[in-house]
Amino acid sequence: MGKGTPSKGKKNKAASHKTCRRCGKHSYHRRKRFCASCGFGRTAKLRQPSWRNRNRPFNGQKSFYRHKAKA
């Protein structure tokens, strides 16, 4: 199964996020195992909004987190 339309049909079966045990928000991704709000599971520190350095929408690739946007 690829990433296209057929796989999107699975999106309604289980919640992708559940309550985070660090920040308490409903932002902890169950499959990716990190919190979208505080970064729990990905960072030891609380995620800060200012960490964003992207100049384009998140496209699902982790490489995005490793590179700073060119000035």
Q: State the residues that interact with Zn ion by CB under 5 A.
A: 20, 22-23, 35, 37-38, 40
The answer to whether the beta carbons of residues 68 and 57 sit under 8 Å apart is no
Instruction: Give min distance, CB of 26 to Zn ion, in A.
Output: 9
Instruction: Give min distance, CB of 30 to Zn ion, in A.
Output: 13
The Cβ-side half-sphere exposure at 4, using a 13 Å CA radius, reads 1
Nearer to Zn ion, 23 or 29 (CB): 23
- Sign of the four-CA dihedral 4, 62, 36, 59: negative
Nearer to Zn ion, 22 or 29 (CB): 22
